[in-house]
Amino acid sequence: MLLIEMFVFLGTIAFAISGSLLAIQKRLDIFGVLLLGLTTALAGGVIRDLMIGNIPPTNLAEPQYFLVSLLASLSTIIFFERIKKFNHSIAFFDAIGLGVFTAVGANAVLSFEYSQPFLIITMGLVTGIGGGVLRDVFVQEIPQVFRKEVYGMASIAGSVALIISYDFVSPIISLYICLTVTFTIRMLALKWKW
């Protein structure tokens, strides 16, 4: 398995956990917890695929991401008491998710032979935050990206780094640069409570 695919699974798991945890807090039933976990993990990629014309969206056509999300959500239910103590590690996984999904989303634009820098940034952002926005809307919260300054900004900075580095290094390297920049900025924001 390619390293990047492993990261995608890691990001998917992190987002599924964040959705399931919020659903449990909001006292949804089991189906609701699973569905919110799945929505958080898969919706960003679906929205991006609609916008770049990748039909049907990969996350709905291929079951592996669904299965991983389902497993992560089920595990969240089973190990809820233990996981909720690790809010810090959740934020850590969430930051990985944001970084991975931004990188994969920005990169998907390039692999579809579009190259407008602006489109790359918006698709990175939509992929990175889309699932979380729906998660929050569905449980009646103002989406986190509107409330935390250095959340969307981290994604944008990552995509800018991808665009700048793209002409100088191999595509896969610039993808990791994007992931690293997004993740690092988000973690610094958490640490210093930006």
Given the structure tokens 């930006």, which residue do they identify?
194
Residue 10 vs 35, nearer CB to a copy of itself: 35
How far apart (Å, rounded) are the C-alpha atoms in residues 181 and 194?
16
How far apart (Å, rounded) are the C-alpha atoms in residues 46 and 39?
10
Task: Tell me how far, at minimum, the Cβ of 186 lies from a copy of itself, in Å.
Answer: 13
Task: Tell me how far, at minimum, the Cβ of 83 lies from a copy of itself, in Å.
Answer: 20
Task: Tell me how far, at minimum, the Cβ of 126 lies from a copy of itself, in Å.
Answer: 8
Q: Which of 79, 119, 127, 86 is nearest to 103 (CA)?
A: 127
Residue 111 vs 116, nearer CB to a copy of itself: 116
The 10 Å Cβ neighbour count of residue 138 is 19
How far apart (Å, rounded) are the C-alpha atoms in residues 18 and 15?
5
Task: Tell me how far, at minimum, the Cβ of 117 lies from a copy of itself, in Å.
Answer: 8
Residue 34 vs 83, nearer CB to a copy of itself: 34
Task: Tell me how far, at minimum, the Cβ of 92 lies from a copy of itself, in Å.
Answer: 22
The 10 Å Cβ neighbour count of residue 1 is 7
- How far does CA 157 lie from the centroid of its chain? 15
Q: Which stretches of the chain bind a copy of itself, using CB under 8 A?
A: 23, 26, 28-32, 35-36, 46, 50-53, 55-57, 60-63, 66, 109, 114, 116, 118-119, 122-123, 133, 137-143, 145-153
Residue 78 vs 137, nearer CB to a copy of itself: 137
Residue 59 vs 165, nearer CB to a copy of itself: 59
Contact, 178 vs 158, CB < 8 A?
yes
How far apart (Å, rounded) are the C-alpha atoms in residues 25 and 84?
10
